[in-house]
């Protein structure tokens, strides 16, 4: 049922509307294999990425998604589960200590079935449009399955749906598919962290080249926390300055 709903969303319900309204452009689609497993590794600018990128691929693309999307109670929860399952998402508990292993196992099941698995190596959306350091899960997945990795750059989705907002402004998103990357030369080295980092960096370099984004050698989650802390400190400094200004302009100051 979920598979049928996926194609219903893609070709009847949502897909045609997005194609007509936004007219997304595509390059390198010939790099997607017509059959067999493949890993699609993409940058992540917006929640709209998982709509526009799979829409441009003729085959089904499966991602992992938060388990909360599948566990909500009531009728609303049932429809939410149906939607995300039908949209090609598989649940993963990201709050557990073995979340990474759970995501890896889910990805392997998809690839073992000869299907396509989509992954965002950055782990979370970029908050400022820059490309951040990739996590090595994509490299481990590639080595343990022997499946090629296709780097992808989605451009313009952060204009359509900016971080922190549901809607932005109109633009034509672009999806660039790079040539498949073969890492079979590293077979049997999936436990070597230096190899995993090297592979991940190679993938991120190709994504950077396709997207034209500025690269930051820092995890996006760390950069987000640093930004929140800086904003909090700036707000505290501003509040302190305002209080000081009020004291200086108080009754005693006027009297003097």
- What's the pLDDT tens digit per position in 8-40? 888 888 889 999 999 999 999 999 999 999 999
pLDDT digits 0-9 by tens, 172-204: 999 999 999 999 999 999 999 999 999 999 999
* pTM exceeds 0.75: yes
Whether residue 66 is found in the same domain as residue 168? yes
Whether residue 129 is found in the same domain as residue 228? no
Whether residue 46 is found in the same domain as residue 140? yes
- Whether the predicted pLDDT of 88 surpasses 70: no
CATH at 49: 3.40.1130.10
User: β-strands 174-177, 215-216: how paired?
Assistant: unpaired
- Could you tell me how far CA 119 lies from the centroid of its own chain? 7
- Whether the predicted pLDDT of 50 surpasses 80: yes
- Whether the predicted pLDDT of 1 surpasses 60: no
Whether residue 115 is found in the same domain as residue 126? yes
Whether residue 168 is found in the same domain as residue 103? yes
Q: How many CB atoms lie within 10 A of CB 130?
A: 18
Whether residue 224 is found in the same domain as residue 120? no
Whether residue 211 is found in the same domain as residue 235? no
pLDDT interval class at 165 (50, 70, 90)? confident
Whether residue 83 is found in the same domain as residue 175? yes
Q: Residue 188 belongs to what domain range?
A: 2-217
Mean pLDDT of 56-85: 77
pLDDT interval class at 71 (50, 70, 90)? confident
Q: Residue 168: its pLDDT value, please?
A: 85
Place of tokens 């802390």: 229
Q: Residue 181: its pLDDT value, please?
A: 98
* CB neighbour list of residue 124: distance below 8 Å, 6 or more residues apart: 44, 220, 221, 224
* Gap between the terminal Cα atoms of the chain: 79
Whether residue 234 is found in the same domain as residue 155? no
Average pLDDT, the chain: 88
Q: Tell me the two tokens of residue 15.
A: 């897909």
Whether residue 139 is found in the same domain as residue 90? yes
pLDDT interval class at 73 (50, 70, 90)? confident
Q: Residue 2: its pLDDT value, please?
A: 60
């Amino acid at each position: 049922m979920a598979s049928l709903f996926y194609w219903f969303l893609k070709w009847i319900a949502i897909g045609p509307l997005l194609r007509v309204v936004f007219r997304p452009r595509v390059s390198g689609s010939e790099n997607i294999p017509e059959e067999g497993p493949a890993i699609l590794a993409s940058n992540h600018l917006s929640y709209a990425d998982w709509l526009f990128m799979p829409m441009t691929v003729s085959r089904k693309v499966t991602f992992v998604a938060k388990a909360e999307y599948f566990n909500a109670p009531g009728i609303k929860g049932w429809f939410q589960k149906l939607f995300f399952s039908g949209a090609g998402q598989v649940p993963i508990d990201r709050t557990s200590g073995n979340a990474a292993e759970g995501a890896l196992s889910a990805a392997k099941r998809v690839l073992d079935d000869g299907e396509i698995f989509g992954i965002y190596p950055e782990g979370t959306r970029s908050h400022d449009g820059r490309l951040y350091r990739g996590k090595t899960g994509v490299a481990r997945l590639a080595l343990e399955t022997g499946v090629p990795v296709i780097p992808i750059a989605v451009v313009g989705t952060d204009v359509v749906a900016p971080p922190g907002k549901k809607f932005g402004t109109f633009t034509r998103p672009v999806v660039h598919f790079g040539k498949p990357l073969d890492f079979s030369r590293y077979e049997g080295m999936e436990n070597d962290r230096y190899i995993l980092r090297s592979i991940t960096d190679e993938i991120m370099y190709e994504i950077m080249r396709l997207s034209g984004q500025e690269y930051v050698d820092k995890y996006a989650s760390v950069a987000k926390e640093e930004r929140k802390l800086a904003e909090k400190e700036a707000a505290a400094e501003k509040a302190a300055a305002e209080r000081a200004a009020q004291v200086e302009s108080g009754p005693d100051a006027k009297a003097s």
